[in-house]
Amino acid sequence: MKDILPQPNLGLVPVAKESKDLTVTPEHLGRCDTLPAAKGSARQMRDMDLFTAGVAAIIERTYELEKTFKALLEEGFAEMRTKLRVIDLNKSSRMQNGMVVDDDAPLDTLYNMRTGQLIPDFPKNLRALDALPGE
């Protein structure tokens, strides 16, 4: 029992401004140095560090997912813009081609829905269109 250092009794320290007896205050505040460290505090600090690292990893992964999601969204919107542009371009070409009656009259070339580029080797006229193999 002699190894136990005197512990502070902060209940004896006056807190009200009206209290005139401040003689016990320095003694009990000085005893705060003798308080034992909380049991398991090193383990608690390790656990807090692990928790903090885990939260940081979750936040980092969330940022990565956000970047991936934004990239996929941008890619999808780019594809949609291409398709809408091609639909508009092909609509007028189809209207023009629908009025062609002469086998040798030129056809307007259509655009590829995936690439947005003109379709290579598109038939030049109705005769070339009729010559294509049927599937």
Tens-digit pLDDT profile for residues 33-61: 666 655 567 788 899 999 999 999 999 99
Amino acid letter at 82?
Answer: T
Is 124 in the same domain as 103?
A: yes
pTM of the model: 0.50
My answer on whether 74 and 110 are in the same domain is: yes
Specify if 21 maps to a domain.
yes
Interatomic CA distance for residues 118 and 135, integer angstroms: 22
| Closest to 24 measured CA to CA, from 36, 14, 34 | 14
Predicted local confidence at residue 68, as pLDDT: 98
Claim to verify: residue 30 and residue 87 sit in the same structural domain: no
**Is the residue at 1 inside a domain?**
no
> What value does the CA radius of gyration of the chain take, rounded to a whole number of Å?
41
Question: What total number of domains does the chain contain?
Answer: 2
How far, CA to CA in Å, does 135 sit from each of 5, 31, 128, 132?
98, 97, 16, 9
Full domain range(s) for residue 98: 38-130
Whether residue 120 sits in one domain with residue 76? yes
In this structure, the answer to whether residues 85 and 118 fall within a common structural domain is: yes
17 has pLDDT over 60? no
Other beta carbons within 10 Å of 126: 17
What DSSP designation does 106 have? B
